[in-house]
Amino acid sequence: MWSTFVVQEEEVRSGNTSAGGHQPSGGLDGFLGSRGKGRKRRHRTQSGSGDGISESQEGKIKLTLFLAITGIMLTVLGVGTEFWVELAPSKSFYNNQTCLVAHYGLWKCCTKTIEVSDVDPKLEVCGPLHLQGESNCTFFKFYTTGENIVLFQKTPEKDLTVASAMFAIISLFLMVMGAICIIMAVSKGVQFFLKPAAVCFILSGVLIFLGLIVFHQSVLSFLASDQSIPLRHQMSWSVTCVGCAGALVVVAGVLFLVLALPYSPWEKCLPKKNSDI
């Protein structure tokens, strides 16, 4: 009897061991198989057609993003500097020893006293601005207290200046939002964020050009406020930076919009000829 019980117990243990040995193996294989299928499915979603982004398309998106970031950096440089317009009166505006030049931007105005002996004798006006002299810069007070400045007995049109500054700030905000959308599109591997990014960049470029137009009108209004002192004015390099930035972000927005299309426009416009004979 005892031997029969021992034999039955050993058979039960061996049966459980064999069953338990196969079960973890099957569970592990099933788990790994499901993970492998999930990875393959995710890979097909990212590299295939539909809402995913292929590897070649991702490279084009990153290259266009570099173009947009260049435009953002130029916008920050132009908006943050005060070399939007340069003003130069006659060399004999004050006396025969020194003359005064000025330049201002969206936030700050600067004047510079230059020795007349340093000015080119062929020039009738004071300058140019890069000559050495004593500089004095002040921020516009009409952003805080509403007080306007007087420069060469002329007063800038503060409403137009504030409007151009607001256009610049809103355009910068839209650029940052567009860049965030592109980063999310690349990180998540979906095309959904390309269209809002394209809209943000195109709209920001349009606002930049509107801001430049409004600022130019403010300069013309400033010059027309008093005709007693003739001034020579010219737009400076800060305006050039902002104008180039506007063109770059508009181009980047158009490229992002093209990349968001479900088909290639080149294949639509220039279909491949059938090479089969």
Write out the chain's pLDDT in tens, 277 residues: 444 444 455 554 555 544 444 444 444 344 444 444 444 334 434 444 445 677 778 888 889 999 999 999 999 999 999 999 999 888 877 777 888 888 999 999 998 988 888 888 888 888 888 888 888 888 888 888 777 888 888 888 888 989 999 999 999 999 999 999 999 988 888 888 899 999 999 999 999 999 999 999 999 988 888 777 788 888 999 999 999 999 999 999 999 998 887 766 555 555 555 444 4
Q: Look at domain 55-265 and name its CATH class.
A: mainly alpha
Quick one: which of 201, 220, 203 has its CA closest to 161? 220
Quick one: which of 94, 59, 84, 49 has its CA closest to 156? 84
Confidence (pLDDT) at 1: 44
- Note the pTM of the prediction, 2 decimals: 0.74
**CA torsion angle 87 88 93 99 (round to 10):** 110
Quick one: which of 205, 214, 193, 213 has its CA closest to 249? 205
Q: What are phi and psi of 259, to 5 degrees?
A: -70, -25
**CA torsion angle 68 73 75 77 (round to 10):** -170
